[in-house]
Amino acid sequence: MQRFDDPEYLKAYIQSHPNQKMAWYLLGKEYAAKGEAGKAAYCYAQAGEVYEAFENEPLPPEVLQAAKAEFERRTRQSDADAASAAIGADRKEKPAPNRRRWRLALLALTLAGFAIAFAPDSAEAPAAGTGPGHSAESGLARGEERHIWHWVDPRRSSAYLGGMVGQWTEQLPDKRLTLTLLELAEAERWLRWDSPPKPLLSLTGGAGEPSWTANWHDASRCDCEPAPFEAPASVGLWQDRLEQEAVLRTAVRYYAEAHGSPPESPEQLARSYPNNAISGITPLMRKLFPSVAESYGQPSRGGFGTGKADGREKSGETAAGGERLPDTLAIVVDRANYRLALVSGPVILRSYPVGLGGERTPEGTFPITEKVKNPNGTDKGAFGSRGMTLGDTLYAIHGTNEPDSIGKDESLGCIRMRREDIEELFALVPLGTPVTIGRGLLPDELVRRTPGYAIPSSAEEENPGKIYKWLS
């Protein structure tokens, strides 16, 4: 953190990064505090969506008008020169230490270029449908000190990070909080959910304090001695909680698409075959159900937009809150390396080795239209103990009585899985979940995680009246 106290370092950074919108915003705040409205307006206009995220309003017309006048006054200067001159003038009057301490901490975060999605650390804390302004619903009682975890995607923009941190710190001033950013490991184009996330940075403050204290835990991110950190068990509970919410949101979404409206109760999701949208409801999912059902159809608070063909999501730059994994669940199958992954946005929650049928396994995207236990009438046989039909086809993801075929092209087109793998996936995946099959989509390395919860098998999911003829 110390290097951001150096005006020369800060000046050099903005000179070489004239499009750094968070820096423009902070510069505008300094000018506004000194009553230099024209310069402040010019900086705010450069900040754009960062200003809107922090001020919770669009740029007012008078700001744009003042910015235009300031721009005309500076027509012979580049944006970088303007920033440099402004910083030089600012040295004459530094902000009070307590204000400057927080601003530099936020600037350090922003310039690092990380992004976060927020989530309470307790598996029992409700989350869906809440944002930074709903502290009571987030389990943050007035005056209570809490530790909140955030998973970090280093590929997201600095504007997103600044907006998210700003919302929490500005809207929860009477709460004593420690916000810890946990960096997920990368696996090629994806993020891994299995290994314990690496602590990156902690911010402590609130409860009316005028500043926040930043402690780096990764020496590679700062010119400092990193603060010690030992991840408590609540990190695992936090991951459990986000997984269960993702399963529930997926079930509610595709139920609503199939029936025209969200379910009225969680019991409607765990009915008997063929209406077994999900195998069962955990206590936490039951607790989250009202807010998840109510929020159905609202924009994603995780900041992710339209899905890509490979099952991942296009990253947006919104600063809206995100107390969850970034999107509903999807399955991706890679024909090149015999891998199947359960994903949420850019995060791989689980991946498994599978058996395929070479060119007989079709490429494309198919919804799961049927989930059945013991499709052979028993847990033994060609289809094993679980099966999931892909769209209006004879292809399925199912178990096998030939485990040696995993990693090979020995099926007639279906996707074979080991018994323990298909049973875990079956419990997590609701009806309607999209399955994308292609080549070069997934990393070779497997992503596995042992959760601290189990989805109960309360639905009756057998279909003894049908003889399945999948292309096994």
Domains belonging to the chain, first-starting first, are 2-94 (no CATH), 110-183+197-230 (no CATH), 240-438 (2.40.440.10)
Q: What is the pLDDT of residue 198?
A: 84
Q: Residue length, the chain? A: 472
What is the rounded CA–CA span in Å between residue 130 and residue 145? 19
Query: DSSP assignment, residue 137?
Result: T
283: preceding bond cis by omega (within 30 degrees)? no
Q: What is the pLDDT of residue 446?
A: 96
CB 274 within 8 A of CB 314: no
Q: What is the pLDDT of residue 72?
A: 62
Instruction: Tell me whether residue 398 is one of the annotated catalytic residues.
Output: yes
Side by side, the strands of the sheet bearing 396-398 are 186-187, 190-192, 347-353, 339-344, 329-334, 434-438, 364-373, 386-390, 396-398, 415-416
pLDDT in single tens digits along all 472 residues of the chain: 333 333 344 345 446 556 666 666 677 777 777 777 887 787 778 777 667 656 666 777 777 677 667 666 655 454 444 444 444 444 444 444 333 444 444 444 443 333 333 333 333 332 322 222 222 223 333 345 567 788 877 666 555 555 666 666 555 556 677 888 888 888 888 999 987 788 888 888 766 666 677 788 888 777 778 888 876 677 888 899 999 999 999 999 999 999 999 999 999 999 999 999 999 999 999 999 999 998 887 654 432 222 233 333 333 322 222 346 777 899 999 999 999 999 998 899 999 999 999 999 999 999 999 999 999 888 888 999 999 999 989 999 999 999 999 999 999 999 999 999 999 999 999 999 999 999 999 999 999 999 999 999 999 999 988 889 999 8
Please give the structure tokens belonging to residue 305. 């937009």
Helix or strand or coil: residue 174? coil
Tell which residue, 359, 350, 343, 329, has the closest CA to residue 438. 359
Helix axis angle, 21-33 to 79-90, nearest 10°: 40
Residue with tokens 């992954």: 341
What is the rounded CA–CA span in Å between residue 134 and residue 370? 38
Query: DSSP assignment, residue 358?
Result: G
Strand-pairing partners, residue 118, are 150
- Give how far Cα 454 sits from Cα of 240, 250, 273, 280, 427, Å: 10, 17, 20, 9, 9
Tell which residue, 434, 420, 412, has the closest CA to residue 352. 420
Pairing of strands 386-390, 364-373: antiparallel
Residue with tokens 């060609």: 382
What is this structure's pTM? 0.68
Which amino acid makes up residue 30? E
Helix or strand or coil: residue 109? helix
Q: Give pairs for 93-102: CB < 8 Å, separation 24+.
A: 93/34, 95/30, 95/33, 98/210, 98/211, 99/210, 99/211, 101/211, 101/212, 101/213, 102/169, 102/205, 102/210, 102/211, 102/212
Tell which residue, 137, 459, 92, has the closest CA to residue 273. 459
What is the rounded CA–CA span in Å between residue 173 and residue 153? 26
CB 242 within 8 A of CB 327: no
Q: Which of these is catalytic: 150, 217, 222, 398?
A: 398
Which amino acid makes up residue 385? S
Q: Which helix (H) or strand (E) holds 227?
A: none
Query: DSSP assignment, residue 327?
Result: S
Helix or strand or coil: residue 161? helix
Which amino acid makes up residue 317? E
Q: What is the pLDDT of residue 62?
A: 73
Q: Which helix (H) or strand (E) holds 203?
A: strand 198-206
Q: What is the pLDDT of residue 324?
A: 64
Count of H helices and E strands in the chain? 11, 17
Q: What is the pLDDT of residue 351?
A: 98
